Every structure is written in C-alpha cells, then in structure tokens.
Amino acid sequence: MTGFFNSGKSTLVHTIDDKAIHVEKELSKTFNEEKTTTTTGFDLGRLVWARPNLNNETEGVIMSKTEYLRDKDEYLGWHIKYVELKGSPGQMQFSTVRKILAKGSDGVIFLIDGCDLANIGNALVVLEEIKAVLGSNIPMRIIANKSDRDDFHGCEVITSMIGETVYVGSGKYNVGIKDAIIEVLKTILYGLDQNKISKESVVA
C-alpha cells in the first residue's frame, strides 16, 4: 500500500490490524492542524483471507491475523491465505524506501487524500514511481481516502484529475478497504478484468 504523504496509509493499516508494526517519527510541526507524526520506515499489517470455497466469485472474509487465530474454529474447512499489507512512507525524500518495499509485491492499494486536491500532482508522481517498479499492469485499486470528512471532494473530481479510475474509501472507518483488498487478491489469483469486477474495491 502506498501513496503520497498524509493520504492515510498508517491509519488504514492500523484500523485493519491493530497489532500492525509502525516505524515513524514526530514531525517538527503539525501538518494541516492534524498530523503530528510521519512514517519513516514502513507499516506492516498481517491479514488473513478466508474463503469457504475457491470459486472465483467468492469474496470470503478479510481479517487481521490476530482475529483469525482468536476465532479460527469458526473457519474450519475454509481456505486460508495469509497476506502482508505493507505501507510505505509518502514523503518525496523516501522514494528509495518506497521502491525497495514495492519490489516483490503482487498488488497495490494506492491511497489519495480525497480532501487535498493541492497534492494530486505529488500523488501522481508516487503513482508513476510505483508503476515503474512493478509495471503498469500490476493489480491495483486507487482509493480516494477520507470519504468520512465533510471536505471530501469525491471520486469523480479526482478521477478526472488523474485520468485513472478512483474508488471511494475511508481508512479510518474501514469503508471500502476490505473490499479493495479482496478484489486485488482475486485479480492476482484469477486474472480477472479489474474494470468488470463488481465491487470497488493490497498489497504493496
């Protein structure tokens, strides 16, 4: 998972896995009156994708590894796949770190701050950087994050600005995020046409 600075990557990882690893430091001053720390290394969430069968239309359930181990008796006989959700630092000076973290990834959740149109250009730079490392055909979902806020600009505006299909989401409240992860995983496994997958919905 990647994106420009303050797009909500760390919040998303820790919402979906409250035991996630996080390497960060305090900012010298608060950004946008809300952000006081920034990722300088990575975030790492450990997830499980559980499915009752291997039909390519079956979505199954995404949960943290901790949740799965706690409730695994409920999933006896299900097909289990372990997933690592890696979050990369978003500031421009961490380009090398992003490229290292991206290598070996099978798919991408790309976050854009849906409340900050001024940084769309920076988001595009990071997007092209990731495509250069992983290839333009890497399974990907681009999420306009922070849809829970009143100043959210909407997917149509952001789609028109970046020329790519953008889906709505909220990392803080886990809106559209698990669906995104599932659909990217399905694309990885089954080679489905992402434009024909029903839900707008990981791995980088």
Please give the average per-residue pLDDT across 13-18, as a whole number.
Answer: 93
Q: Crossing angle for the helix pair 9-16 and 177-190, nearest 10 degrees?
A: 90
- Cα separations (Å) of 193 from 64, 104, 124, 140? 27, 22, 23, 11
Percent of the chain with pLDDT over 70: 84
154 close to 132: Cβ distance less than 8 angstroms: no
The yes-or-no verdict on residue 195 having pLDDT over 60 is no
Architecture of domain 2-196: 3-Layer(aba) Sandwich (3.40)
Which band of pLDDT confidence, cut at 50, 70 and 90, is reported for residue 35?
Answer: very low
Using pLDDT thresholds of 50, 70 and 90, give the confidence band for residue 202.
very low
Lowest mean pLDDT among 24-33, 145-154, 188-197: 24-33
Residue 117 neighbours by CB under 8 Å, 6+ apart: 153, 157, 158, 161
Q: Looking at the chain, how many residues does it have?
A: 204
162: pLDDT strictly greater than 80: yes
Per-residue pLDDT at 61 exceeds 50: yes
Separate counts of helices (H) and strands (E) for the chain: 6, 8
Say yes or no to pLDDT of 42 above 70: yes
This model's pTM is above 0.95: no
User: Given this model, what pLDDT does residue 22 score?
Assistant: 77
- For the chain, what is the mean pLDDT? 87
Instruction: Report, as an integer, the average pLDDT of 52-68.
Output: 95
Span 86-112, average pLDDT = 91
Domain ranges in the chain are 2-196
Average pLDDT over residues 152-169: 94
Selected residue with higher pLDDT from 31 and 151: 151
Q: Which residues are CB-neighbours of 1 under 8 A, at least 6 positions away? A: 9, 12, 13, 43, 85, 86, 87, 88, 108, 109, 110, 111, 202, 203, 204
What confidence score (pLDDT) does residue 90 get? 87
